[in-house]
């Protein structure tokens, strides 16, 4: 099946709207509303027999975009389900009940971005260092790393650079001039 045939099949099987962007002969992006994410994932994984590869999350202007990447190995292409969790409600339905392999990556996305996955059986800290508070998410754009380091004493104690005003003046090497005999 080609990506064009895949999109056509998806339209026929889908009961919900989506936007498809065919990036290349081997890559298609399918944007779905967050309310329909679980249904589309179930369609891809259980009915269309796609393999779940990984999920990624990113903080964008509109909120938190989470991308679930599926492969169709026999057909040689990748389908990425894209959905958005808005800033004021960063929650999505967990896919663990449909795809058990999403357990760890949803925990990681929660831990570093703060996207909550409703229905996740074990949504807790996974990769974030213990000195981060529960409500501090280091991969968010609004996370101020410099302020965080200052507040936690993590700035270097020795500066390898000095401001120009503190630098000693450069001594110009003396130039030797040869005296020539007249």
Model confidence pLDDT, tens digit, residues 36-64:
999 999 999 999 999 999 999 999 999 99
Length of the chain: 182
| Residues forming a β-bridge with 54 | 69
Residue 161 has a pLDDT of 58
**pLDDT(159) > 60:** no
| Average predicted confidence (pLDDT) for the chain | 86
Higher pLDDT: 110 or 166? It is 110
* Phi, psi at 166, each rounded to 5°: -95, -5
Mean pLDDT across 63-84: 97
Mean pLDDT across 149-164: 64
Residue 130 has a pLDDT of 74
- Rounded distance, CA 57 to CA 141, Å? 12
* Phi, psi at 143, each rounded to 5°: -75, 120
| Residues forming a β-bridge with 68 | 55, 81
Mean pLDDT across 170-181: 62
| Residues forming a β-bridge with 170 | none
In terms of DSSP bridges, do strands 116-118 and 91-93 run parallel, antiparallel, or are they unpaired?
parallel
- Rounded distance, CA 143 to CA 148, Å? 8
Could you give all domains of the chain from N- to C-terminal order, each with its CATH number? 3-162 (3.30.460.80)
CA distances from 70 to 15, 37, 52, 92, 166 (A): 20, 13, 5, 18, 57
In terms of DSSP bridges, do strands 51-60 and 91-93 run parallel, antiparallel, or are they unpaired?
unpaired
* Phi, psi at 42, each rounded to 5°: -65, -40
- Confidence tier at 158 by pLDDT (50, 70, 90): low
**pLDDT(182) > 60:** no
Residue 34 has a pLDDT of 96
- Rounded distance, CA 48 to CA 139, Å? 33
82 neighbors 32 (Cβ within 8 angstroms):
yes
**pLDDT(156) > 80:** no
- Nearest alpha-carbon partner for 84 in 24, 16, 44, 32: 32
Higher pLDDT: 82 or 165? It is 82
pLDDT tens-digit map of 138-147: 777 776 667 7
Mean pLDDT across 130-154: 71
């Amino acid at each position: 099946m080609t990506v064009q045939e895949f999109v056509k099949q998806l339209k026929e099987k889908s009961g919900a709207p989506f936007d498809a962007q065919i990036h290349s002969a081997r890559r298609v992006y399918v944007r779905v509303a967050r309310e329909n994410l679980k249904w589309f994932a179930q369609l891809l994984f259980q009915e269309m027999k796609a393999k779940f590869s990984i999920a990624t999350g990113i903080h964008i202007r509109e909120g938190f975009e989470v991308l679930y990447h599926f492969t169709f190995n026999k057909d040689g292409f990748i389908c990425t389900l894209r959905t958005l969790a808005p800033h004021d409600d960063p929650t999505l339905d967990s896919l663990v009940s449909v795809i058990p392999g999403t357990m760890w990556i949803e925990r990681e996305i929660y831990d570093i971005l703060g996207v909550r996955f409703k229905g996740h059986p074990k949504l807790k800290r996974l990769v974030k260092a213990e000195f981060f508070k529960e409500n501090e998410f280091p991969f968010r754009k609004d996370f101020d790393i410099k302020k965080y380091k200052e507040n936690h004493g993590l700035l270097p104690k020795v500066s390898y650079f000095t401001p120009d005003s503190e630098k000693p003046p450069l001594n110009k090497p003396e130039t030797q001039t040869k005296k020539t005999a007249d």
